[in-house]
Amino acid sequence: MSRKEQKEKNRPVILRLFAMIGPTRFVFVGALIALALSIGAESAGNLIIRHVVDNVIIAKAGLKTFALWAGLFMVMAMVRGILNFLQSLGKSRTSEEIARTIRDRVFDHLQRLSFSYHDTNKTGELIQRSTSDVDTVRRFYADQIPGLANTLFLFLINFAILLTLEWRLALFSVIAIPLIILLSWFFFGKIFSAYDKFQDHEGNMTARIQENLNGIRVVRAFARQDWEKENFRRINQKQLDLGYRLNFWDSFYWPFGHGVCGFQFAATVFVGGVMAIRGTISPGTFIAFSSMINALIWPMQELGRSLKEVSKSYVSFARIAEILDEDQEDLTSAALTRDSNVQGKLEFRDVSFHYVEGVPVLDNISLVCEPGSKIALLGATGSGKTSLVNLLPRFYDYTGGEILLDDKPLTHYSRHFLRQNIGIVEQEPFLFSMTVRENITYSLNREVTQEEVEEVARAAAIHDSIMKFPKGYDTMVGEKGVSLSGGQKQRITIARTLLKNPRILILDDSTSAVDADTEDKIKESLEKLMEKRTTFIIAHRIQTLKKADRIFVLDEGRIVQEGSHEELIGREGFYREVFDLQTRMEQELQDELSAAGAAKVLSHE
């Protein structure tokens, strides 16, 4: 991490929130200036009315001067309109630009965070942060800052003018403002907390309804409709009570605020009236005064809300910053800059690895794998097979020893380079909601011809199925398109890997998630995939393993046995146990079949 990033992290979050504005800051400041000017123009309009009343109407200056002033009033109004428009242009430009920047950054950042980060963070939580929290930050610039500025400018500009018109009356007219601010701060505290409770419970209620709808078959199977209704009634009732409570605070605050503001206004009008009768102020000043006080007092009611909302944006931004402060995986830097092809020789030298300090997952693993050879890993669940192969694309970095690829340490290669040269077929195939073609070409950053795509689809034995889809290769996968069977999905991922054409291949239990019928169908396409590639196979069946050049048996993170199939069955140990059990199982099966009088089956290939 660069020093600049470190410095960024140590700054207070609220400053960073303001720093998000970046190069658009001039636009934003411009927008705020436009806002202030437009408020000024409005006040100027009031001053024009004052002038008209005092010097035109009362002085009976005649229609000509009148027309002049009316014209000026209209021009002022136009200026105000233009300023207002500029203001909204500026603030929406700023806020949308910031929202886009954050969205892009969060999106890219998330896909560059390490595996361990994604292992420990919930998807829903991350999505929540990247959508609704980003929107809260957007609103901070679009609504909250301009809103606060509006209240503030209305107050400052009008108050300043009032002071010059008649300072004693001006001071008198703001007496209630501290009270209004206090009241609104207090009540909005209550309203927001009542609202949070209301929202929380609404979340629970929604979850409850969702659960009921998802489990409606169980409800029916046990004929529990009446109980469900009763149960929902309670939750619904609580929601009603919380709604009442929220409404209660609302219905108290607004009349309070209104009453205080109204009191202040009426009192000012009265005192101003007295002053006007005495001649301390002119009638025009009185009229301008009353309009400007109006503009000054009423927005104060909302000040508490604005301040509370600003504090919410702060929390939202802190949650986003938490993601952005996580260190990215370094994808590109490498000691070796090489364009030449990977040969595919792999060597593990005393490699150890752990996720959590003190809990070793791999311990002193040493093995050599020649280019193009096939390595099989056998072991019980949790013996470290998947962890071992996850080290190759540097999904995790080993904590001890060394892995060499073509005789150079793995850490000398960039993660990107390694991942481009390693293909993985996982247990649970994952496809994106794109077209079938886009899924197959997913890993290639170049134009791919239809022939290429069809060729790999044929090799993966999925071409015919694809042609039966409504739009062939252009059919969408997933919710908006066809739903695929597990076997079909797996074959598309095989096609995807074939097209990627990696030198090194990892088959991580690739057939265990599909049913027996499908497994047979996939087998051939997997064979095709393995041709001429350095391959790591994780599997449970001796039939799958025995063709490997070397087999390693793992137990609790250690290699306990290694050798070819022939060597291993000749020795005592786990492999032979498994082999014997499987042979016995075949025997049992044959026995059972012959007992039933059924035809024997050939030993399974």
Partner 1 sequence: MSDTNKLENMNFSGDFSGRTIRRILSLTLPHWKMLLGFSLCIALTAITESTATYLTKIIIDKGILAKNYQVLFNLSLIHLGCFLATSLFVFGFIYFAGRLGQLLQFDMREKLFNHLQELSFSFFDRTSSGWLLARVTSDTRRIAELASWMLLDVIWATFNIIASLIYMGMINVKLALIMLVIVPFLAWSAVKFKSYIIKEFRKVRSINSRITSAYSENINGVKIVKALTRERANARIFGNLTTEMYQASYRAAWLSGLFMPVVQFITSQAMGFIILYGGWEINLGGMTIGGFRAFIAFVAFMIWPIQDLARVFSEMQQAIASAERVFTLMDMEPEIGDEPDASQEASFKGKIEFRDVDFSYVEDTPVLTGFNLTVPAGQTLAIVGPTGGGKTTLASLISRYYDPGQGTVYLDDVDFRKYTQKALQSRIGVVLQTPHLFSGTIEENIRYGAPGASQEEVLAASRRAHAHEMILNLPGGYEEQVGEDGTLLSVGQKQLISLARTILANPDIIIMDEATSSIDTLTEQNIQQGMEELLKDRTSVVIAHRLSTIRNADRIIVIEDGKITEEGSHGELLRLGGHYHHLYTSQFRREHTSSLLA
- Judged by DSSP in three states, 477 sits in strand
* Residue from the set 156, 160, 207, 315 that interacts with partner 1 by CB under 8 A: 207
Tokens linked to 509: 């239990």
The SS3 assignment for 215 reads coil
- Per-residue mark of binding to partner 1, 429-448 (x: CB under 8 A): -x-xx--------xx-x---
Tell me which of 27, 70, 334, 530 binds partner 1, using CB under 8 A. 70
Ranges of beta strands (E only) in 282-432 are: 346-356, 359-369, 374-379, 400-405, 408-409, 422-425
CB 385 to partner 1: min, Å: 10
Whether the CB-CB separation of 551 and 376 falls below 8 Å is answered with yes
Helix, strand, coil percentages, rounded to 5, for the chain: 65, 10, 25
Q: How many helices (H) and strands (E) does the chain have?
A: 24, 10
* DSSP secondary structure code for residue 328 in this structure: B
Task: Pick out residues in 259-288 that bind partner 1 (CB under 8 A).
Answer: 259, 261-263, 265-267, 269-270, 273-274, 276-277, 283, 286-287
Structural contact between residues 505 and 535, judged by C-beta atoms closer than 8 angstroms: yes
List binders of partner 1 among 489-528 (CB under 8 A): 496, 500, 512, 515-517, 519-520
Which residue, 66 or 355, is less far from partner 1 as judged by CB? 66
346 touches partner 1 by CB under 8 A: no
Q: How many Å is the maximal CA-CA distance in the chain?
A: 124
Closest CB to partner 1 among residues 14, 47: 47
Q: Which of 26, 186, 254, 355 binds partner 1 (CB under 8 A)?
A: 254
Assign 525 to helix, strand or coil: helix
Amino acid code (one letter) for 37: L
Q: Are 350 and 399 in contact (CB under 8 A)?
A: no
- Considering only 5, 200, 211, 531, the residue that binds partner 1 (CB under 8 A) is 211
Q: Smaller CB distance to partner 1: residue 81 or 472?
A: 81
> Could you say whether residue 485 binds partner 1 (CB under 8 A)?
yes
Among 14, 47, 89, 367, binds partner 1 (CB under 8 A): 89
Question: Between 13 and 267, whose beta carbon lies closer to partner 1?
Answer: 267
Q: Which stretch binds partner 1 (CB under 8 A): 5-13, 301-309, 521-529, 580-588?
A: 580-588
φ, ψ of residue 332 to 5 degrees: the values are: -115, -25
Q: Minimum distance between the CB of residue 593 and partner 1, rounded to whole angstroms?
A: 6
Binding to partner 1 by CB under 8 A, coded x per residue (else -) over 355-394, reads -----------------------xxxx-----------x-
Among residues 168, 258, 408, 471, which is the contact residue for partner 1, using CB under 8 A?
Answer: 258
Q: What does the alpha-carbon distance between residue 58 and residue 286 come to, in Å, rounded to a whole number?
A: 13
Q: Return the range that interacts with partner 1 (CB under 8 A); candidates 167-175, 348-356, 396-404, 586-594.
A: 586-594
Q: Minimal distance in Å, beta carbon 124 to partner 1?
A: 9
Q: Nearest distance from residue 570's CB to partner 1, in Å?
A: 20
Closest CA to 160 of 32, 277, 38, 44: 44
Q: Which of 5, 202, 322, 567 binds partner 1 (CB under 8 A)?
A: 202
Closest separation between CB of residue 10 and partner 1, Å?
27
In eight-state DSSP terms, residue 299 is G
Residue 139 phi, psi dihedral angles, 5° rounding: -65, -25
- The answer to whether the CB of 486 falls within 8 A of the CB of 513 is yes
